[in-house]
């Protein structure tokens, strides 16, 4: 593997107190409990509308991050940054959504039309994003270091999840399936707060009543609106009970005191003017980390971005983050000595609607660049109109019954630049770009956004059809070359000529052919020959079609 790292055994102080000698010799386990589509609408962020005793307890025993942000306010581009440590605009995963692969191992077949068009109106077919060859799913590095990596079960990376990325990836994936004593990195994604559950859970009893909810100023006080806002809070209460089930499993297995627990959402809330937005309502997320042995209840004001997750997981495992990663570690042995001053967000195609917006934010100010100010602010995404309140907002808008703050969402044209004082205007409703008293700050943020775009080689300026043809020459998905299995001095060496390819292998009984549903070991170097067995190998490069499975009998 091009970026293979030596295994570094690390014992960090937070785990030493109260651990047995055996436990001290282990790497920490890491558990992610993630959810979908919620903003920091939780009691430990000041909103006690939903009752969340499990999350409250986790926050009290852990650390609450007050400035945590995704890179894009929608799932697939956001998740691509989580799994790679790279900005979506840098690796070409910024347009939502490129293909059908969204859960588990997914489908390798991306052929077929879609309803997407790029900014020029050109039709864009389904495709798997081809990212730079040196960029891997960070879990490959954890697997190389001995971790058992599981994902249950959403992937949605804008590319098919490589079989080399996870030991298990699907509804049965669980840390309990590892070898005894093996450290694990396990992800459990809870979907009950997803946007779709606003209408799919419509007939479930509300545990938060419409009269109990508070509304942001960009929502009218309306029975339909209150009903869906109450449904969202009720879904958050369902989320809390499902998180309890997973933490109870950890406790029952005796793993709570050697497992770091993360909780966060993939982006902001599911309601209109939340998800898909490049403001705080789409980018800001709840984020809690529990580290055994560390005093709980801390409030962390360090700014973190989702590109920081990959390097942070490596750092916690005692591994130096890869130099290509655009994030920085905020915990662990290789924690960055410099805290972030800025976070960056983007918005491009969302389903059938294209645009290009970029955001830079520090702890107080937000600057937005609209590359197509002639396009409306509101994107009439068909999927979102399954939500009753979206249709109600459109009705009120068409009838002229919204006030100026509520109409801001529906403005027909945008200013080329926007600037917000987030302390005074937490919902980003008052554009101060022409306020000369903020001139110095506006120029600073404008320059910083331009600097970042140049640094990461922002591909948003490339029409998606052109980007697709670069990734898939002549509209055809490239294919990873088949691996070669060579016996050398009693060992097996497996190679692949495709730059950036990873290799998976299985040592199996003869006449037993593996599929693509897991069990593939990550090849990191020569393995001993085992006579009487068959070795199967597969190559994959992210965005390419997998190679054929090859085999050799010994």
State the SS3 of 333-357. CCCCCCCCCCEEEEECCECCECCCE
Question: Is residue 489 included in any domain, yes or no?
Answer: yes
Residue 10 confidence (pLDDT) above 70? no
> β-strand 29-35 against 184-190: which pairing, if any?
parallel
Average pLDDT over residues 30-40: 98
Residue 232, pLDDT score: 98
Residue 1 confidence (pLDDT) above 50? no
Residue 102, pLDDT score: 85
> β-strand 521-522 against 502-509: which pairing, if any?
antiparallel
* Shared-domain flag, residues 142 and 290: yes
Q: How confident is the model at residue 511 (pLDDT cuts 50, 70, 90)?
A: low
* Residues 339/302, Cβ–Cβ less than 8 Å: yes
Residue 471 confidence (pLDDT) above 90? yes
Question: Is residue 97 included in any domain, yes or no?
Answer: yes
* Residues 371/335, Cβ–Cβ less than 8 Å: no
420 DSSP β-pair partners: 366
What's the CATH code of the domain at 518?
A: 2.60.40.10
* Residues 415/266, Cβ–Cβ less than 8 Å: no
* Residues 202/48, Cβ–Cβ less than 8 Å: no
- Domain boundary among the residues 339, 372, 388 is at 339
Question: Nearest-5° angle of CA 27, CA 29, CA 30?
Answer: 130
Number of Cβ atoms within 10 Å of the Cβ of 85 = 27
| pLDDT tens digit sequence for 68-125 | 999 999 999 999 999 999 999 999 999 999 998 888 876 777 777 788 999 999 999 9
**HSE of 360, CA atoms in CB hemisphere, 13 A:** 19
Please name which of 354, 338, 356 lies closest in space to residue 346, comparing C-alpha atoms. Answer: 356
Question: Is residue 237 included in any domain, yes or no?
Answer: yes
In the residue annotation, 75 being an active-site residue is answered as yes
**HSE of 505, CA atoms in CB hemisphere, 13 A:** 23
Structural domain boundaries, residue 526: 478-553
- Domain boundary among the residues 290, 315, 339 is at 339
Residue 513, pLDDT score: 64
Q: For 79-88, 323-332, 526-535, which range has the lowest pLDDT when averaged over its residues?
A: 526-535
> Both ends of the chain: CA-CA distance in Å?
24
Q: For 104-113, 260-269, 341-350, which range has the lowest pLDDT when averaged over its residues?
A: 104-113
Residue 21, pLDDT score: 38
Of the listed 35, 75, 137, 357, which one is catalytic? 75
* Residues 505/537, Cβ–Cβ less than 8 Å: yes
Residue 488, pLDDT score: 93
Which residues contact residue 474 at a Cβ distance below 8 angstroms, ignoring those fewer than 6 apart? none
Tell me how far CA of residue 546 lies from CA of 1, 100, 496, 538, in angstroms: 17, 16, 12, 7
Measured distance CA(20)–CA(17) in Å, rounded: 9
Measured distance CA(89)–CA(10) in Å, rounded: 34
Question: Is residue 313 included in any domain, yes or no?
Answer: yes
Q: How confident is the model at residue 516 (pLDDT cuts 50, 70, 90)?
A: low
Measured distance CA(327)–CA(348) in Å, rounded: 21
Long-range own/partner contacts, residues 241-244 (CB < 8 A, 24 or more apart): 241/54, 242/190, 242/192, 243/33, 243/54, 243/55, 243/58, 243/190, 244/54
Q: Peptide bond preceding 366: is omega within 30 degrees of 0, i.e. cis? A: no
Average pLDDT over residues 348-375: 98
Question: Is residue 364 included in any domain, yes or no?
Answer: no
Question: Is residue 376 included in any domain, yes or no?
Answer: no
Measured distance CA(296)–CA(63) in Å, rounded: 6
Backbone angles phi, psi at 496, to 5 degrees: -145, 135
Residue 531, pLDDT score: 86
Residue 18, pLDDT score: 37
Question: Is residue 113 included in any domain, yes or no?
Answer: yes
Measured distance CA(97)–CA(77) in Å, rounded: 8
Residue 103, pLDDT score: 84
Supply the mean pLDDT for the chain.
93
What's the CATH code of the domain at 167?
A: 3.40.720.10
* Tally of structural domains, the chain: 2
Residue 20 confidence (pLDDT) above 60? no
Q: How confident is the model at residue 512 (pLDDT cuts 50, 70, 90)?
A: low
- Domain boundary among the residues 295, 320, 339 is at 339
**HSE of 220, CA atoms in CB hemisphere, 13 A:** 21
| Position with higher pLDDT, 533 vs 321 | 321
Average pLDDT over residues 129-135: 98
Question: Is residue 312 included in any domain, yes or no?
Answer: yes
* Shared-domain flag, residues 34 and 183: yes
């Amino acid at each position: 593997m091009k970026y293979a790292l030596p295994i570094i055994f690390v014992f960090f102080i937070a785990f030493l107190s109260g651990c047995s000698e055996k436990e001290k010799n282990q790497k920490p386990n890491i558990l992610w409990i993630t959810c979908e589509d919620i903003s920091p609408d939780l009691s430990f962020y000041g909103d006690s509308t939903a009752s969340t005793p499990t999350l409250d307890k986790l926050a009290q025993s852990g650390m609450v991050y007050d400035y945590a942000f995704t890179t894009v306010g929608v799932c697939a581009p956001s998740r691509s940054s989580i799994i790679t440590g790279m900005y979506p605009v840098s690796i070409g995963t910024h347009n939502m959504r490129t293909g059908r692969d969204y859960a588990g191992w997914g489908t390798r077949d991306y052929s077929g039309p879609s309803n997407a068009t790029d900014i020029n109106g050109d039709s864009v077919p389904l495709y798997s994003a081809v990212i730079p060859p040196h960029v891997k799913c960070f879990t490959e590095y954890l697997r190389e270091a001995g971790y058992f990596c599981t994902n249950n079960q959403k992937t949605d990376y804008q590319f098919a999840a490589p079989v080399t990325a996870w030991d298990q990836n699907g509804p049965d994936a669980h840390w309990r399936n590892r070898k005894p004593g093996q450290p694990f990195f396990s992800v459990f994604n809870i979907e009950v707060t997803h946007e779709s559950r606003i209408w799919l859970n419509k007939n479930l009893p509300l545990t938060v009543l419409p009269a109990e909810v508070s509304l942001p100023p960009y929502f009218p006080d309306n029975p339909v609106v209150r009903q869906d806002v109450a449904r969202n809070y009720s879904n958050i209460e369902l989320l809390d009970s499902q998180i309890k089930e997973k933490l109870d499993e950890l406790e029952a297995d005796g793993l709570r005191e050697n497992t770091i627990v993360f909780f966060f959402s993939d982006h902001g809330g599911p309601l209109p003017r939340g998800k898909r937005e490049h403001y705080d309502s789409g980018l800001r997320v709840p984020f809690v980390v529990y580290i055994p042995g560390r005093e709980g209840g801390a409030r962390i004001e360090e700014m973190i971005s989702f590109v920081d997750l990959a390097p942070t997981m490596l750092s916690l495992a005692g591994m130096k983050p890869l130099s290509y990663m655009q994030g920085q570690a905020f915990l662990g042995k290789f924690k960055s000595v410099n805290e972030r001053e800025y976070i960056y967000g983007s918005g491009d195609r969302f389903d059938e609607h294209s645009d290009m917006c970029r955001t830079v934010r520090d702890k107080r100010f937000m600057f937005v660049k609209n590359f197509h100010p002639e396009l409306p602010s509101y994107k009439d995404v068909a999927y979102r109109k399954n939500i009753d309140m979206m249709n109600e907002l459109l009705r009120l808008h068409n009838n002229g019954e919204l006030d100026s703050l509520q109409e801001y969402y529906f403005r027909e044209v945008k200013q080329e630049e926007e600037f917000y004082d987030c302390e005074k205007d937490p919902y980003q409703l008052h554009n101060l770009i022409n306020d000369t008293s903020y001139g110095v700050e506006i120029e600073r943020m404008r320059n910083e956004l331009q600097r970042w775009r140049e640094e990461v080689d922002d591909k948003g300026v490339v029409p998606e059809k052109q980007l697709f043809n670069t990734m898939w020459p002549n509209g055809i998905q490239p294919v990873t070359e088949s691996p070669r299995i060579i016996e050398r001095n009693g060992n097996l060496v497996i190679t692949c000529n495709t730059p950036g390819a990873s290799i998976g292998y299985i040592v199996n009984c003869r006449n037993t052919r593996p599929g693509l549903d897991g069990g593939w070991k990550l090849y990191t170097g020569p393995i001993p020959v085992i006579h009487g067995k068959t070795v199967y190998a597969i190559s994959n490069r992210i965005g390419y079609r997998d190679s054929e499975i090859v085999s050799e009998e010994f």
